[in-house]
Amino acid sequence: MPLETCAGTDQEFDYASRTVVSAAPQAPVVATRRPRFLPLVRFFDECLKTRLGAQLGKVAAGAITLGYLIALPFGARAVAGDASDKVVVAALGWLTWLSGSLLALSAAGNAADDGATRALALARGFSHRAIDRAQLAAVGRRAVRVVGAPAVLLAVVALALARSLNVALSRLMLLVGVLGYVGLVAVMAVVLVRVARALGPRHPRRALLLLVLLPHVLRELFPRLPSAPALIGFVAGELASMGAHLR
């Protein structure tokens, strides 16, 4: 079974195994198993990370992480008490709304963006339903890597900087909360991209922006109307309270 190449990248995917490999010439691979779902997710993840929005989101995440890593020691030694939890929560906001938004807009895409990769998967025997699931799973996987990994790193550093048992317990609670927050962001990214593609198949990025912004604006008139920014803000507020609980 020949290897397939992700359009616009130097990555190839061997559907008979579990790996994404280099595009360098290699001997043909003999198919010994049925196509598997997880390698397909990794394949779409490799393709997604090469898109401009995903690359910008990764660069932004790196810059945000570096900036807040520098700020963390100062927050941990603030005159008013250890404020490293506030630093972590502030970083979460930037990671979510800058890096996460760029990634989601890139992932929403349109039919032309991923037509070639879908055709490769179809040629290897995957159903349209399996491909749809794999693409959405790749969005969640990429969100965990771009938003989640830096967030967890910052929470771990905040825990390492704790100078008392009470603060350490507080930062441990914060770390657990950050893990839950990351899971929520990944699920929300998947759901929003899926709904945007369904509502606006020809202009999914516009649909995604409307899904996020319109309910949030309408909350001024209807305060009980749910919105993604409101939910993220609520969870971030709870994390701030959790981090300060044992301060």
Nearest residue to 189 (alpha-carbon basis) of 106, 90, 117, 91: 106
What does the pLDDT read at residue 166? 87
What does the pLDDT read at residue 3? 41
Please give the Cα distance from 14 to 193 (Å, whole number). 27
What does the pLDDT read at residue 237? 84
For residue 206, is pLDDT > 80?
Answer: yes
- Please check whether residue 124 lies inside any domain of the structure: yes
What does the pLDDT read at residue 116? 82
Contact 171, 158 (CB under 8 A): yes
- Please check whether residue 88 lies inside any domain of the structure: yes
| Number of domains within the chain | 1
Mean pLDDT of the chain: 83
**What's the pLDDT tens digit per position in 20-57?**
444 444 444 444 455 588 888 999 999 999 999 999 99
- Please check whether residue 125 lies inside any domain of the structure: yes
- Please check whether residue 26 lies inside any domain of the structure: no
Q: Which amino acid is at 82?
A: D
- Other C-beta atoms closer than 10 Å to the C-beta of 52 total 10
- Please check whether residue 70 lies inside any domain of the structure: yes
For residue 145, is pLDDT > 70?
Answer: yes
- Please check whether residue 224 lies inside any domain of the structure: yes
Strand boundaries in the chain, DSSP class E: 4-5, 11-13, 20-22
**What DSSP assignment string belongs to 61-96?**
HHHHHHHHHHHHHHHHT-TTS--HHHHHHHHHHHII
pLDDT band at residue 2 under the 50/70/90 scheme: very low
- Please check whether residue 43 lies inside any domain of the structure: yes
pLDDT band at residue 180 under the 50/70/90 scheme: very high
Percent of the chain with pLDDT over 90: 45
What domain range includes position 186?
35-244
For residue 217, is pLDDT > 70?
Answer: yes
What does the pLDDT read at residue 136? 92
User: Average pLDDT in the 178-192 region?
Assistant: 95
pTM, two decimals, is: 0.80
- Other C-beta atoms closer than 10 Å to the C-beta of 80 total 6
**What's the pLDDT tens digit per position in 60-89?**
999 999 999 999 998 888 756 778 888 999
- Please check whether residue 25 lies inside any domain of the structure: no
